[in-house]
Every structure is written in structure tokens, then in C-alpha cells.
Amino acid sequence: MDDKFDIQAYMTGGVEKIVAASLKATLRDPKESAFMVKFAAASRKASKIRAEAEKSGEHIPPFLIASITSSCNLHCAGCYSRCNHATADTAPVQQLTSDEWLTIFREADEMGVSYILLAGGEPMLRRDIIEAAGKIQDIIFPIFINGTYMDDAYFGLFDKCRNLIPVMSIEGGKEETDKRRGKGVYEKLIVNMDKLNEKGLLFGVSITVTTQNVSEVISAEFIDTLADRGCKLVVFVEFVPVTEESGELTPGENERTILKEGIAGLRRDYDEIVFVSFPGDEKSSGGCIAAGRGFFHINSHGGAEPCPFSPYSDVNVRNTSLREALRSKLFRLLQDGDMLTDDHAGGCVLYEKRKQVEELLEI
């Protein structure tokens, strides 16, 4: 690891900042505030666990990404997961069971992981796993969803288990969202936001930033639409081109400058919303935080991967512990090398350097 940059201190501080901002943003909701106060204590405890592990030479990242299904009902334009064949209309039978995921969640809790991002595919297709996540109250589970499977049972689950936070994918206004995700999706998202807000439930949105929507998604008009509906978390993710045809959507230096300056203004003007940017925040933190530096990824079949955009694995949690997976040869080679700190043009350095990652698997 780079001696000039303390990734542990950066990620720990990031977790505490998100918790503090979330607590401030939920003060008007006693039930939500009570949960955030409890979670703040759990987060401090987890930070101590990670710090103790660091002293003994073991680095535990505070974040884990769990793709709990490879099935999805939408065909979003330029979807990296479908292009990488990680997502299909119908999931294969060898996916991890809810009991296997619960074991992973419990081990992550014991290790000091504070956040587990549930992804897919479409994670809401696996209600059994989301219900299992609700049992691990010391971890917050942001659930990155397309918003088409919300129903009364899910609203009830989110009310009961405040550690489950839906994060809905949106591309800007109606035109941009429906263009990429399908006709009628935007209206479903708006209905969901209004219901979540009415019920006093914490939620966020995830935005794939492209050359076509960058100005819109950082505009006051768009953010006001979210803020007025109670949104407390906005995650900006730069588009990663996985086909030659989608290259024109990839943000260049001009778009990145617009995004960076726009987010700085949003953080100043909207103190009740948490704004996170990838890889923007990574670049300012000393490089890519995948492969266990700040987070790592478990796919729907148990493979431990550097990140969802880099679907390479040399170990499966079905055959080993989560702790051992973090010590995989691939992760160690990536952490000890300079690939993660290399400058890169697109939204994911490991995707751009996928041939080099494949070569590491042969070492």
C-alpha cells in the first residue's frame, strides 16, 4: 500500500461522515433518528475492530458489495452486467442461497464491515436474502434497485428494518430515464419516492453519469425534485463503456470537471443530502479502492472479485471464509502493485486494464 496515503483512515472517516450526515438528515423523523443513533455506535465499534486488525497487519475494508442475484427484468442500454454476462433474464440455479448469504453477512459483521451494498441483477427479486440482511442490524444495507418491484410487503420490510435502504436507479428526468431503462420506469420511481417519503423511510438514488445527462443530473432543478421527495443519498457513478458502440456515452475530462464542480456545489447547497461520486471520490482518495483496499465484491455464485466492473476471481466463499477470501492471491497482487493507483481515462481502471488483471490470474 502507498505509505503516503492511509486508505484505512480515509474509508473510516468516510463512513463516519456518511453516518453523521445521515443522522442530521433524519432528525425530523424520530424513528429513523433512533436507528441512526444506534448505528452510529455500531459504526464506531466496527471502526475499532478494523483498527485493531490493521495493527496486526490485516486490512478489513468497511464496505462490501454483494450481487445477490444475476437475474434482472430490465434491459438497460449499455448495462455492463449484461455485457459481461453477469446478468440474464433467468438466473442459474447455482446462486448462493439465503442461508449462505446470511453466513456471509454475519461474518462481515464480526470482521467490522459497516456497509454492505446489495446489487444484482435486480436484488429485489431475492426477497429472502433482503429479509436475511434485515436481521443484521449493525450493518447498513443500501439496496441498489431499478424500482420496478416495490410493493406493500417491501414498504413494510423497510419500515421494520431501518438498516435496509433502497437506492433507486434514475438517469435524470423522465426522458433520459425512460430512454435508458424503459418506458414508464421514471413514473414508477416517482411513485416509489413519494410513498417512501410519506412513510418516513430513508432512501437514495443512483445515477449513471454520461455525456448526455451530466449537466441535468447536477442541476438544481433535478436535485430539488429529489430533495422535495425526501431523498437523502445521491450516488453518482461514471458510465463504463463495455461495448464500442457505447463509448460515446463515456464522460471525458470536460464532463468530469463539470461533475466534480457540480458535486462540490451540491454538497455546499444541500446539507441534508449525502452525495457520493465514483470514481471521482476514489481519485481524490489515492486511487481505486477495489480489491479490498476499501471494498470488494462477492458475485451471486460466491466468487470474490475486485469489483463488479472487474469480474475476475480466484476464490469462492462457498469453499472458504470471507476473511480468507480477502487474502486471495489476486487481491494481494492488486494491492501490492500499482495498477489500482494508475491514472485512467474511463470510469473504472480495472476494466480498462482487464487484460493485465487476467494475466495476474495466471501468476
**pLDDT value of position 2:** 43
Q: 213 vs 78, which has greater pLDDT?
A: 213
**pLDDT value of position 91:** 61
Task: Report pLDDT digits (tens) over 52-101.
Answer: 999 999 999 999 999 999 888 877 776 666 666 666 666 666 899 999 99
Percent of the chain at pLDDT above 90?
56
- Most confidently modeled range among 81-85, 202-206, 238-242: 202-206
Task: Report pLDDT digits (tens) over 291-350.
Answer: 788 889 999 999 999 888 888 899 999 999 999 999 999 988 888 887 777 665 555 777
In the numeric block, which cell numbers belong to residue 51?
A: 483498527
Place 204 in a pLDDT band, splitting at 50, 70 and 90.
very high
Residue 265 burial by CB count (10 A; 0-12/13-18/19+): exposed, middle or buried? Answer: middle
Task: Single out the residue of 124, 138, 16 nearest to residue 71, CA to CA.
Answer: 124
Predicted confidence (pLDDT) at residue 6 exceeds the cutoff of 70: no
Percent of the chain at pLDDT above 70?
83
Mean pLDDT of all residues in 269-274: 88
**pLDDT value of position 31:** 76
Under 8 Å between Cβ of 15 and 43:
yes
Domains along the chain with CATH numbers: 7-361 (3.20.20.70)
Place 236 in a pLDDT band, splitting at 50, 70 and 90.
very high
**pLDDT value of position 303:** 95
- Most confidently modeled range among 105-109, 285-289, 291-295: 105-109
Predicted confidence (pLDDT) at residue 5 exceeds the cutoff of 50: no
DSSP code of residue 339: G
**pLDDT value of position 83:** 61
**pLDDT value of position 4:** 43
**pLDDT value of position 109:** 97
**pLDDT value of position 354:** 79
CA 308 to centroid of chain Cα atoms: 10
Place 356 in a pLDDT band, splitting at 50, 70 and 90.
confident
**pLDDT value of position 346:** 57
Distances (CA, A) of 196 to 84, 204, 229, 361: 33, 10, 8, 44
Measured distance between the N- and C-terminal CA atoms of the chain, rounded to whole angstroms = 20
**pLDDT value of position 1:** 42
- Stretch among 72-76, 200-204, 215-219 having the lowest mean pLDDT: 72-76
Q: How far apart are CA 42 and CA 25, in angstroms?
A: 19
In the numeric block, which cell numbers belong to residue 363?
A: 501468476
Q: How far apart are CA 328 and CA 335, in angstroms?
A: 11
The mean pLDDT of the chain is 85
- Stretch among 8-17, 177-186, 203-212, 241-250 having the lowest mean pLDDT: 8-17
- Stretch among 25-39, 78-92, 258-272 having the lowest mean pLDDT: 78-92
**pLDDT value of position 170:** 97
Cα dihedral angle (8, 14, 15, 19), rounded to 10 degrees?
160
Query: pTM of the full predicted structure?
Result: 0.88
Which residues on neighbouring strands pair with residue 140, listed in sequence order?
Answer: 115
Distances (CA, A) of 245 to 126, 214, 239, 250, 259: 32, 19, 13, 11, 23
Under 8 Å between Cβ of 76 and 107:
no
In the numeric block, which cell numbers belong to residue 66?
A: 454483494
Under 8 Å between Cβ of 70 and 95:
yes
